[in-house]
């Protein structure tokens, strides 16, 4: 945990030492790094590196390389349309922030009127690759919500009907199954929500003891107000999300934010924005637990009078 924080501080110090020319060169040649990553994916180089500790000489890498999983390369190529279209779209919109999946950089870069989700739904292979990308397992304990939040303490006196996990836009259910493996059916209800073209590919065998529900994540659902109306003073709402800090966001948070903005017309919400949204429906934030990386669990309850 402390090692990760120290690494972040070191990275920040290095960036602050960059001269304008060094920054310009980094941005100019940055696209070549993405292309190089794509070639490395096709050659299976990352797969080889993940099985070894320490550096490997190029001949060993080339001898060991094999065709890699295609999900990373295809997902990068799909998102590239949004990234390459972002400068022109920002210029055309006079640099206004518009939260609209129907009018964002994706349409400019992909030369289409369809949203990125609509485009993906027409390509089964791409949809599968994206789901595989989202299902990449988190390997460190501090990123696992079941590990870093004291669920056992919180749920000590709770019945199964009192505990509901809802994975909104959960794709193929990687988070839902992580929660289900930690909490058997007798302990909780788990619901996975996603687009019909995604849920239609799921089966009870692939997601045992998980309720699958169709939902278009682009359309709001008033679950916060419903929660506030249906629960008592001891109930709590847990929101597992990446929270953008008001100052000094990490490099990954900035990347997430730009990627969502360019591809879906979305944004990474800050803790203050979540707090304001919860207070609108009569809830208040009672605590937040964060990992050394970007994920947090925000806890909310009915606002006390």
Tens-place pLDDT, residues 95-111? 888 888 899 999 999 99
What would the pLDDT profile of 268-298 be if each residue is shown by its tens digit? 888 888 889 888 888 888 888 877 667 788 8
Structure confidence at residue 111 (pLDDT) = 92
Are 145 and 297 spatial neighbours (Cβ–Cβ below 8 Å)? yes
Residue 142 DSSP code = G
Question: What global pTM score does this model have?
Answer: 0.64
Identify the domain boundary among 79, 102, 136.
136
37 and 114 both lie in a single domain: no
Last residue of a domain, one of 136, 153, 176: 136
Domain that holds residue 123: 70-136
Share the mean pLDDT of the chain: 73
In DSSP terms, 244 is beta-bridged to: 270
CA distance 212 to 228: 23
Is the Cβ–Cβ distance between 87 and 261 less than 8 Å? no
**CATH assignment of the domain containing 181:** 3.40.50.150
Residue bearing the bigger pLDDT, 69 or 139: 69
Candidates 167, 140, 181, 149; CA nearest to 223 is: 167
CB 254 within 8 A of CB 270: no
Give yes or no: residues 184 and 233 share one domain: yes
- What would the pLDDT profile of 216-274 be if each residue is shown by its tens digit? 766 666 777 777 777 777 777 888 778 887 777 777 788 788 888 888 888 888 888 88
Do 166 and 273 reside in the same domain of the chain?
A: yes
CA nearest to 188, candidates 162, 169, 208, 153: 162
Phi, psi torsion values for 191, nearest 5 degrees: -120, 135
- Same domain (yes/no): 119, 163: no
| Number of domains forming the structure of the chain | 3
Residues 151 and 165 in one domain: yes
pLDDT tens-digit map of 160-189: 666 777 777 666 666 777 777 676 656 667
Asked which of 87, 116, 136 is the last residue of a domain, the reply is 136
Both 57 and 85 in one domain: the answer is no
- Which residues, in sequence order, are CB contacts of 20 under 8 Å at separation 6+? none
């Amino acid at each position: 945990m402390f090692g990760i924080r120290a690494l972040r501080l070191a990275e920040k110090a290095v960036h602050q030492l960059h001269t304008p020319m060094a920054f310009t060169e980094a941005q100019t040649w940055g696209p070549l790094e993405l292309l190089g990553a794509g070639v490395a994916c096709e050659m299976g180089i990352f797969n080889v590196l993940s099985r070894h500790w320490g550096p490997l000489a190029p001949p060993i890498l080339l001898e060991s390389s094999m065709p890699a999983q295609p999900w990373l390369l295809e997902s990068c190529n799909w998102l590239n349309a949004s990234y390459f279209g972002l400068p022109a779209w920002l210029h055309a919109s006079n640099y206004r922030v518009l939260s609209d999946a129907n009018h964002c950089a994706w349409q400019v870069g992909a030369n289409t009127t369809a949203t990125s989700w609509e485009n993906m739904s027409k390509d089964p292979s791409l949809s599968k690759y994206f789901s595989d990308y989202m299902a990449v397992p988190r390997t460190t304990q501090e990123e696992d919500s079941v590990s870093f939040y004291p669920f056992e303490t919180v749920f000590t006196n709770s019945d199964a009907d009192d505990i509901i996990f809802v994975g909104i836009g959960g794709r193929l259910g990687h988070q839902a199954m992580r929660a289900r493996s930690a909490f058997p059916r007798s302990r909780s209800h788990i619901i996975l929500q996603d687009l019909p073209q995604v849920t239609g590919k799921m089966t009870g065998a692939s997601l045992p003891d998980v309720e699958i529900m169709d939902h278009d994540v682009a359309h709001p659902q008033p679950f916060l107000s419903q929660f506030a109306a249906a629960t008592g003073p001891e109930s709590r709402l847990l929101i597992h999300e990446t929270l953008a800090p008001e100052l000094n966001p990490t490099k990954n948070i900035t990347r997430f934010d730009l990627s969502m903005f360019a591809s879906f017309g979305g944004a990474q919400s800050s803790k203050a924005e979540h707090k304001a949204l919860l207070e609108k429906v009569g809830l208040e934030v009672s605590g937040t637990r964060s990992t050394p990386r970007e994920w947090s669990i925000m806890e909310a309850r009915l606002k006390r009078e």
